[in-house]
Structures are given as C-alpha cells and as structure tokens.
Amino acid sequence: MGPLNAEAECPICTDELSPTDVLHPPQCAARCGYNFCLSCVESLISSSRDDYLEASDGNRHVKVLLQCPNCRSDLSPTIRDTALLRRADNLDGAARAGSDSELSASELRMKNAMSDPDVREALSDARMKEAEFFAKDDICERGGFEMSFSSECEEVVAVAQADSLTQAESTDSFSATAAWAEKEREAPTAIDATLFGGYEFCMTSDEKRFVTEMMTSGSTTKLSAAALFLCDVVRMSREGKTAASREREAMSTVKVLVDEAKAAKEKAALKAAGITAQTTARLSAASRGRRSRGLG
C-alpha cells in the first residue's frame, strides 16, 4: 500500500511525516486518524518510562501515558510495534536500494541489530497484528482514510500471513538485510587495517569490513562516504564510546523496544482475560441467585 497523505505534517513537531510514518500510523482503537512522526513516537515511549513527575503546583501525579494525543485511546499494546515497524522500514529502504554508503556508523549498527532472529520474529508478528487491525470488518483504514477491501489491502494481509508462517524463509521486510549478512558470512571481505588511520581498535569487525569495501570500491562517492563514516567512529571514540559498547547500545535499544512490546501485549491479554473472568463470575452469581429465588 502506498502513502495516503505523504505530505502531511506531524501535529506535534510540525516536521513532515515520512512515507513510513504514513504507512504505519498508530493503531488507535477509536480510529481518530491522528498520526505523528517517529521521533515524537519514540519521545512518547521514552517519556513513559519516567516515574511520576512534579508539576508546577507541586502535584507529583503527573506521568506520561502511552495514549493517543488526540483521543486518549490506550496505545500501550501497539505503539512500540509501530515504532519498530517504522524504524525497520526506514533502514530496509536503504538496504533494498543498496545504499549502505548513505548510512552513518550508528545506522549501520542499528541495521545489524535489526537482523537479529528475535527482532525479525517480533517484526513479523508486528506486521501481522497491524494488518489484522487495519483490515478488520473488510475495511482497510489508514490514518483516518477509508478504502474498500481492495487487492492492495488483501496483499498486505497475505504478505503478513506469509511472514508469520514462513519464518525460516525470512520473507519479512528485512530479507535484504539478512541476505547481506549471510553473504558477508559466506565470503568475508579481507580487512585492510591500513585504511583506518590508526582507529582499527575502535571499530567493530562489521565496521572494518564496511569501510574496506567502500574504500576499495573504486567509487569516489563511496570513498567520501567511508571518510565521513570514519569521522563518525572517531567522534564516538573520543566521547568514550568503545566498539563493544556501541554495538551493545544498538542491540539494547531494539531489544528494549521488543521486550516492552511483548510485555505490554501480555499485560493487555491478562487484563482482557480478567475482565472476561469477572463478567463470567458475575453472570454465574446472578444465575445462581435467580435459581435460588425460584426464578431460574
């Protein structure tokens, strides 16, 4: 499905919504059509992790909740999936276009983190849940727009279902990244340490291979991109961020998002089960009461 309103602005920060922002809108139960950019979504998620804050009047019951900024519907079970899908598709676009040269050092590490099997499984599940949400009742609604259940919508559901059922074949959007990683494992690039300007001890093996490939590609564009990449590595090294810590940080960022999404879904399922159990118990008690009064 293509973007439905690609030129819309984020109502919070007024930046233009990206195609992935439009393609993966918040899964608001009220379907109010409110959408906001990935940066604001991640800020909301980050703020929700904080404890109760103190307001200007001394009230300490101020806490950011994962709610739709417009209608206050609960977004906690799905908003992390939305962020994960947007981030994944942003990076996947570069992978499909073969434009690794445009990635910064941090983006390359994030791309590798997204290739983790657990993360890819979470992405597959997120796509399936999103397709089910926006395709229920034979209506495909995206960002406040309604369309009949067309072939485009059927394709979204079909792809999501195939995604869920064929994990081993890696048919999700990160197949390109996975293929790239597999290719690297099968035929690793010979690393040339003379290209790193003495900073080889500050780089991961993936970064070394990446820079070697870029600098020996024969392309002036890739050569300049590799130089900028090295500048990024040098900057982070001077800030005290080691290669291992940078790699862990990238994986941790994604893993936290995946783990929080899983916990939120389990909490929502338990809450729904509890409500169902309470309703059943009340109905049973009412039925017993009627029978005891001879009204059953």
- Residue 12 confidence (pLDDT) above 70: yes
The angle that helices 105-114 and 79-96 make with each other, rounded to 10 degrees, is 110
Q: Is residue 250 part of a domain?
A: no
Q: Do residues 86 and 106 make contact, with C-beta atoms less than 8 angstroms apart?
A: no
CA angle (84 as vertex; 63, 102 as ends), nearest 5: 120
Element (H, E) at 146: strand 145-148
Distance separating alpha carbons of residues 99 and 94, to the nearest angstrom = 5
Number of structural domains the chain divides into:
1
Give the tens place of pLDDT for each residue, 263-283: 888 888 887 777 666 677 676
pTM exceeds 0.75: no
The better pLDDT of the pair 182, 135 is held by 135
The better pLDDT of the pair 96, 117 is held by 117
pLDDT number for residue 64: 80
Reported as half-sphere exposure (CB side, CA atoms, 13 A), residue 122 has a value of 27
Residue 38: pLDDT band with limits 50, 70, 90 = very high
The better pLDDT of the pair 203, 13 is held by 13
Tell which residue, 40, 169, 178, has the closest CA to residue 113: 178
Q: Is residue 92 part of a domain?
A: no
Q: Is residue 106 part of a domain?
A: no
Q: Is residue 91 part of a domain?
A: no
Helix (H, G, I), strand (E, B) or coil at 9: strand
Q: Is residue 269 part of a domain?
A: no
Q: Is residue 202 part of a domain?
A: yes
Q: What is the mean pLDDT of residues 53-81?
A: 83
Domain that holds residue 205: 188-241
What are the tokens at 209? 């291979």
- Residue 184 confidence (pLDDT) above 70: no
CA angle (181 as vertex; 255, 89 as ends), nearest 5: 55
Q: Is residue 294 part of a domain?
A: no
pLDDT number for residue 153: 45
Q: Is residue 192 part of a domain?
A: yes
